[in-house]
């Protein structure tokens, strides 16, 4: 695995989470916006390609693999993709401290800013000539990407696939959009808290190297866990508001459990979507209360910010770390819970066999993944 968040690398982010640290700080990346809590990786908004290069390189090192890997499939998604570049190209504005000065923009090849470019960049890094895919499904993108990679192996088209998502969402349009929706927090991200007031945007990327069990065991690979199954559905209800009853989200959960050959009672931990918004957290808490009210729950967005399309990939990486180290990460930012659930408030040691990861995106995109101990 390779990961990059406002807390740092995979190991730094994991250690920070366990220590209840947050990478969210007040920043003013654009002079025409006020100070806002943001999960920036550095002091200024970063570039998508840089993120993907860092996490792919880290994943290869972690997996003890050396390019070229021509038979390795690639599935890398992004929700916002190269929106930062598009905004500057569209307005021909060079803001103060921009990472994209005007002379650089004049040389931009628009073909290299299409939504599939992050996946192509990853394919070039590893020298892949296998299938290369680039899913986009709002905040469910990361889990969708992992699912596509899983299916490539299941169908016998690949034995190894690089999967994940990357996001550089700190742009004027994204900030303005969430502000107009009333979803942008002013002080910080507090998932499931009574005082939660919205989400905090965060930069991030995470990739996993999936392998068939046969290939992983034959080369003595370090195995973090196994993918059991997935479930997907769409609310078909509203562009941004989740369908309040949660019936379609529950459908995705039920699909996931059935395909994974497990039941709700087998779940030891839920990595919740937990954005810190009023509507999402309320619906998600209701679903968990109906599904398995006594299971341990936390969201890591209070530490990293909401990385939008990359959030499901980060959730998968953190959940696999939980399986490896048998520790549950706390729900950073949660002080006074509004809901009667078993929230992980401090790092908790626990015998963990099975984990559910939730991702619920705009447009009613519901994605659920089950992970199991190897």
CATH number of the domain enclosing 92: 3.40.47.10
Domain boundaries, position 43 = 2-372
User: 168 Cβ partners below 8 Å, 6+ apart?
Assistant: 45, 46, 47, 48, 51, 80, 84, 203
Geometric angle at alpha carbon 82, from 146 and 196, rounded to 5°: 70
Per-residue confidence (pLDDT) for residue 171, from 0 to 100: 96
* Tens digit of each residue's pLDDT (9 = 90 or more) over 31-40: 999 999 999 9
Block means of pLDDT (10 residues each) for the chain, 374 residues, are: 98 98 97 96 95 98 98 97 87 57 62 91 98 96 98 97 98 94 94 97 98 96 97 90 88 98 98 96 96 96 98 98 98 98 98 98 94 94
Q: How many domains does the chain have?
A: 1
User: 219 Cβ partners below 8 Å, 6+ apart?
Assistant: none
* Tens digit of each residue's pLDDT (9 = 90 or more) over 280-314: 999 999 999 999 999 999 999 999 999 999 999 99
In whole angstroms, give the CA distance from residue 167 to residue 205: 6
Per-residue confidence (pLDDT) for residue 283, from 0 to 100: 95
Distances from the Cα of 313 to the Cα of 35, 55, 152, angstroms: 28, 12, 17
Phi, psi (deg, nearest 5) at residue 270: -115, 120
* Tens digit of each residue's pLDDT (9 = 90 or more) over 62-84: 999 999 999 999 999 999 999 99
Per-residue confidence (pLDDT) for residue 109, from 0 to 100: 78
In whole angstroms, give the CA distance from residue 194 to residue 17: 21
Distances from the Cα of 161 to the Cα of 119, 133, 154, 231, 356, angstroms: 12, 11, 11, 20, 21
DSSP letter (8 states) at residue 139: B
Per-residue confidence (pLDDT) for residue 99, from 0 to 100: 54
Catalytic (active-site) positions: 139, 273, 306
CA 224 to chain centre: 18
Per-residue confidence (pLDDT) for residue 97, from 0 to 100: 55
Helix axes 278-291, 247-260, angle to 10 degrees: 50
Per-residue confidence (pLDDT) for residue 322, from 0 to 100: 98
Per-residue confidence (pLDDT) for residue 95, from 0 to 100: 54
User: 310 Cβ partners below 8 Å, 6+ apart?
Assistant: 78, 79, 141, 142, 164, 165, 166, 167, 204, 205, 206
Predicted TM-score (pTM) above 0.85: yes
Per-residue confidence (pLDDT) for residue 110, from 0 to 100: 78
The helix/strand/coil state of 4 is strand
The helix/strand/coil state of 37 is strand
In whole angstroms, give the CA distance from residue 278 to residue 61: 40
């Amino acid at each position: 695995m390779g990961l990059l968040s406002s807390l740092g690398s995979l190991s730094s982010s994991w250690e920070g989470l366990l220590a209840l640290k947050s990478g969210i700080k007040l920043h003013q990346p654009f002079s025409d916006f006020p100070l806002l809590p943001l999960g920036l990786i550095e002091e200024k908004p970063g570039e998508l390609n840089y993120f993907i290069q860092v996490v792919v390189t880290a994943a290869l090192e972690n997996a003890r693999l050396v390019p070229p890997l021509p038979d390795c499939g690639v599935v890398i998604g992004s929700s916002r993709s190269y929106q930062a570049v598009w905004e500057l190209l569209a307005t021909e504005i060079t803001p103060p401290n921009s990472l994209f000065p005007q002379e650089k923009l004049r040389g931009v090849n628009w073909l290299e800013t299409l939504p599939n470019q992050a996946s192509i960049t990853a394919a070039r890094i590893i020298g892949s000539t296998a299938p290369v895919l680039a899913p986009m499904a709002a905040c469910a993108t990361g889990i969708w990407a992992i699912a596509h990679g899983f299916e490539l192996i299941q169908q016998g088209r690949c034995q190894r696939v690089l999967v994940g998502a990357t996001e550089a969402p700190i742009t004027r349009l994204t900030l303005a959009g969430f502000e107009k929706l009333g979803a942008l927090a002013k002080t910080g991200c507090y998932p499931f808290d009574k005082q939660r007031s919205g989400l905090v945007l965060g930069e991030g990327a995470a990739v996993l190297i999936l392998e068939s069990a046969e290939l992983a065991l034959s080369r003595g690979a370090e195995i973090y866990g196994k993918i059991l199954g997935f479930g997907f559905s769409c609310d078909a209800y509203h562009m941004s508001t989740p369908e309040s009853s949660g019936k379609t989200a529950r459908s995705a959960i039920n699909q996931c459990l059935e395909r994974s050959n497990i039941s709700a009672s087998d779940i030891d931990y839920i990595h919740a979507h937990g954005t810190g918004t009023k509507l999402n957290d309320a619906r998600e808490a209701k679903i968990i209360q109906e599904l398995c009210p006594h299971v341990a729950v936390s969201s890591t967005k209070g530490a990293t910010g909401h990385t939008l399309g990359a959030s499901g990939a980060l959730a998968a990486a953190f959940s696999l770390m939980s399986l490896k180290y048998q520790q549950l990460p706390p729900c950073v930012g949660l002080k006074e819970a509004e809901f009667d659930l078993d929230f992980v408030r401090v790092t908790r040691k626990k015998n963990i066999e099975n984990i559910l990861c939730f991702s619920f995106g705009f447009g009613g995109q519901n994605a659920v993944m089950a992970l199991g101990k190897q």
